[in-house]
Amino acid sequence: MSIWTTWPSIEALSREGRPKSRRRVGRGVRLVLMAVAVWAIAAKGDLNPWASLGACLGVLAAWAVLWAYFRVTLRHRLWPALGLIALLVAGGAIADGAGARLAAGLLWCGCGVLSLERLPLAAGLPTAAVSLTLFGLLASGANWLVATVTALGLALAGYTVRLDAEARGNTQRLLVQERAARKAEAQTAALAERARIAREIHDVLAHSLSAQTVHLEATRLLVERGAEREVVLERVVAARRMAREGLAETRQALSALRGDLAPVEDFLRELVASEGARLEVEGDSRRLPAEAGLAVRRVAQEAMTNVRKHAPGAEVVLRLEYRPEEVELEFRDFGGRSPVDNSLGASGSGYGLRGMRERAELLGGALDAGPAEEGFVVRLRVPA
């Protein structure tokens, strides 16, 4: 769009975003100008009361027209704005004819500056030229050079105020956009956090409740078939164990969401101690981010559960390696008594290595699993 036909932005024309000190200065200038106009009327001792009243009403009318001009230019309405400026110019001519040369000069100067400040340049320049020419003719009686320089200075002042307002408007728009971007980022972060919470709760509760359902359903069938008490009791104990494990894992998930999980190494040492496995740690130990630490825990639990189910009695070795920008967990089992089930979807814990792979990919890592050396290997890498 051409610079000649472009309006100043709404932000540039409005008072929003202006410092309070600048607003006070603007109000002060307007009050001073009105006081000068009223003083000029009062100083003319040859005016009768009706003429003085008419002059004061003229000042108030000019003030009302000026207020309306600010409103219509804020809405980018060209023809009403030009009509109001024409009324002010005509008011200056009337004041000049009545002998109020100071009031006429103030009106014409104000019209010139406000035209350049608040109108498209294609309309503002001719309007300012007419207004400032009238002012120059009014002041040329004293010194035409001073009048010309003053008129040019007023034109430059009006354009400078326009540029300053545009700069302020651009700053205001950028500030609004930045606030909107921050709000969108906060909403995105909140949605991501909700998704993380939903994923953790789903992983824990889906596993625990589905396993309990299976055991309880099996218990019901055994009772209906008149199974021995020991067999039924074994199922009940298994269901109770799953409930306890689910409760413990729910607490771990909530601790991870709060960011106060115990160090990963401590968790792995407890896990291998309870299962008779071996843990090897390489690299410089450090505290892992909550998501990375939780992924390592989940994969270790899943792999250990698969060993209990598909390769009982196997020797298990866990290797945790700290790297500069990531951490790797390698889980190996050797020599189980039963044939190894190489299906990634087979899982006794309910999470599934496929779900763990998706978790790792969401974190920007990777998970590989497959048979190796008469056993099975699971390898997790996540940024940390």
Per-residue pLDDT of the chain (384 residues; tens, 9 = 90+): 577 888 888 878 887 666 667 667 767 776 776 677 666 655 655 556 666 677 777 778 888 888 898 899 888 888 999 999 998 888 888 887 777 777 788 888 888 888 988 889 888 899 989 888 888 887 666 577 777 888 888 889 888 888 888 888 888 888 888 888 888 888 887 777 677 667 666 666 766 677 778 778 888 888 888 888 888 888 888 888 778 777 777 776 666 666 656 678 888 888 888 778 889 999 888 888 877 888 888 888 888 878 877 777 788 999 999 998 899 999 988 876 555 444 333 334 445 677 778 878 888 899 988 887 778 899 999 998
The first and second tokens of residue 301, run together, are 């639990």
Q: What is the CATH number of domain 261-384?
A: 3.30.565.10
Domain ranges of the chain: 10-178, 261-384
Residue owning tokens 């763990």: 356
